[in-house]
Structure 1
Amino acid sequence: MLQESNYDDFATDYADENEFSLLNAYYERPATLELAGEVAGRKILDIGCGAGPLAEQLIRRGATVSGFDASQAMVDLARQRLGDDADLQVATLGEQLPYGDSSFDDAIASLVFHYLPDWSYALEEVRRVLKPGGRLIMSVNHPILYPFNHRGKDYFQLTQYADEVSFNGKPAELTYWHRPLHETIEALISAGFAIERVWEPPYAKDAPEDVIPEALRERDAFLSFLFFSLRSTR
C-alpha cells in the first residue's frame, strides 16, 4: 500500500501555493464559498482546514468557525492566520471528532474525503456533529481524472494512487483514493445525506491571466474537482 500524504512535510510550501494558485484560490475556494452562500450567524466546521484560508473568508462573512486538520504544522499556520483564540484542533477525519452532537449548522470538507478509503464512519461523525437538517458542503477530486491521468486503469475499482505535484516550486507526492461516482453517491445517501446539488463549476472570472494556462484561457471551465451540497436527513 502506498504511504499516506503527510502535510507536515510540506505545509508551508503548500500554504503558499494555496494562496494564489488557480486550482485553490480561483477555482475550489470560490466555488465552495458560493455553495455556502449567506453564512452570517452560522456555526461552521471547517474539515481539513489546512492553513485557514477558507475559515478566514467564512469569518469575514460573519460565520463562527471551528476547524481541524490532521497536520499539526497546518494547524499552526492556521492559528498564525486566525489568531491564538481561534477554535482549531489537530484531529483526523475518519476518527471520532472532538465535538459534541448537533454542534454546527454547516460542515465544509474541501478536498479531504478523497484521502479516505472508507467514508462510512467519517460521514457518520460529520452528521453527528451537525444540527438536524444541517449542511455538508464538500469537494473531492473529480472521479474522471484517475483513468484520464493514469491510462489503462479501471475506473470502477476503488484504488489508491499517487500523483507527483509541485508546491511553491518544490516537488511533493500526494496519495489519494479513487472511487467511482456511483460509490460516492451511495456512501452519501447511506450516511443520511440528501443531495441538493452536484456541481462542476467554472473558475473565477477575476483570476489573473498569468495563473491560467494558455489552453484554458478561451474556456469558462475545466474538470478538476467535483462539488456537493448535502443536507442531513436525520
Structure 2
Amino acid sequence: MSEWKELNEESKSRWNENAGFWDDYMGNESNQFHREIIRPRTEKLLDVKAGQTILDIACGNGNFSRRLVELGANVVAIDYSSKMIERAKLRSGLHHIDYKVIDATNFDSLIALGNERFDSAVANMALMDIADIRPLMQALSFLLKDNGIFIFSITHPCFQSPNMRKVHEVEDMNGSLQSKNSIQIFNYLTPQPYKAIGINGQPTPHYMFHRPLSYYLNVAFKQHFVLESIEEPSFQKEKEANQFEWDEIPPAIILRLKKV
C-alpha cells in the first residue's frame, strides 16, 4: 500500500495547525534548505519563460510562487491548508498570484483549473506530505499543455526514510582526530506513513508518507510522463552552526517530468 486516503483529513488539520508557525519561520525568503538545496536547481529545471502559466502545487506561504512571478510567469498557487493560503495572500503584496484552497488528492477540483492551461507545474517538497498522489498525477496529464513540464522535489527516500539515524563519529587517524558523518537506513522498500517534525518547535508533528523512488516514477509513467532530468543537491561546504554535513549525502531529490 502506498496511498493512505484515510489520513488525508488529519494531515490537513495538522498543517492548518502548523501554518502560522511555518510561515513565521520561513518568512519572505524561506530557510537555508529551500534557498540552497531546492530553489536554484528547481529554477534551472523549470527554465521559466516570461508569460508562461505555472501551477504551484502545495504552495505553502507562497515564497516560490512570488519568485515565479518575479521571473515573469503567471501563477496559480494551490494548497489544501486554508491557513497557509491566508498567510500566502498576506505576504504577496503587489505580486499578482491566483491563490486557491484545493486539495491535491481531489481529482475533480484539480481538473476544474482548466484543461491544458499550464505550461509547467511545480511541487516543492510536497509529494511526500500528500496521502494519495495518484489523483494529482492523473490531473496533471490534463492540466499541462503538450510537452508540459512537471518538476517535483521530495526528501530523498533513499537517505531520508523512516527511522533513519544520523551518526557522527570521531576517529584517531595516525594521531589526528578525524570526524565522519554517516546515516543508517532501516526502511526503504516498504511504503509507510509516519509523523515527523520539519521545524523544531512546530505545534504538532505532521504526516509524511514514505514511498520508494520507483513508486513515484511508475505513477508518472502510467500517466504518460517521461523522466528528463534528476538533481540530487547537497549543502555547500559553508554550513550553519551545528549543521549536519550532507556533502556526499543529498537530503532531497528533484525530478523533471515531461508530458508526452
Class of the TM-score when normalised by the shorter of the 2 chains:
0.7 to 0.9
The corresponding residue for 2:259 is 232
Aligned to 2:228: 196
| Paired position in structure 1 for 2:114 | 100
2:24 counterpart letter in structure 1: D
Q: Counterpart of 2:130?
A: 116
- Secondary structure in structure 2 of the residue aligned to 1:78: helix
TM-score of the aligned structures, taking structure 2 as reference length: 0.78
* Structure 1, 18-27 or 125-134: larger mean CA deviation: 18-27
Aligned to 1:172: 204
Deviations 1:187-222 (A, max 9, x none): 1111211100111023468xxx56364543xx6564
Q: Is the 1:39–1:58 Cα contact (8 Å) retained in structure 2?
A: no
- Equivalent in the alignment of 1:44: 54
- Say whether residues 1:7 and 2:15 are aligned partners: yes
1:31 to 28, 33, 41: 41
* Corresponding residue SS for 1:107: strand
* Gaps in structure 1 of 5+ consecutive residues: none
Cα distance, 1:86 vs structure 2: 2.8
Which sits farther off after the overlay, 23-32 or 123-132? 23-32
Q: Report how far residue 90 of structure 1 moved.
A: 0.2
Determine the C-alpha separation between the residues in 2 that align with 1:178 and 1:66: 27
Q: Match for residue 133 of structure 1?
A: 147
Question: Structure 1, residues 63-86: CA drift from partner, whole Å, max 9, x if none?
Answer: 111111101111111111224853
Question: Do the aligned residues in 2 keep the contact of 1:27 with 1:204 (CA within 8 Å)?
Answer: no
Alpha carbons of structure 1 residues 130 and 165: separation in structure 2 relative to 1, 3 Å? closer
Output the TM-score relative to the length of structure 1: 0.86
Q: Deviations over 1:132-173 (max 9, x none)?
A: 110000011211211561777542112111113435x44531
Give the SS at the match of 1:175: strand
1:212–1:122 distance in 2 versus 1, CA, 3 Å:
farther
**Runs of 5+ in structure 2 lacking a partner?**
1-5, 166-183
Q: Contact 1:66–1:87 (CA<8 Å) still a contact in 2?
A: yes
User: Quick one: structure 1 residues 157 and 170, their matched pair in 2 at CA, closer, same or farther if it must change by over 3 Å?
Assistant: closer
1:220/1:92 Cα in 2 relative to 1: closer, same or farther (>3 Å)? same
Identity %: 26
Question: CA contact under 8 A between 1:164 and 1:171: conserved in structure 2?
Answer: no
Equivalent residue, structure 2, for 1:160: 193
Report the secondary structure of 2:87's partner residue.
helix
Contact 2:127 2:133 in 1 (8 A): yes
Quickly say closer, same or farther: Cα 1:222–1:14, change in 2 above 3 A: farther
- CA pair 204-134 structure 1, distance change in 2 beyond 3 A: farther
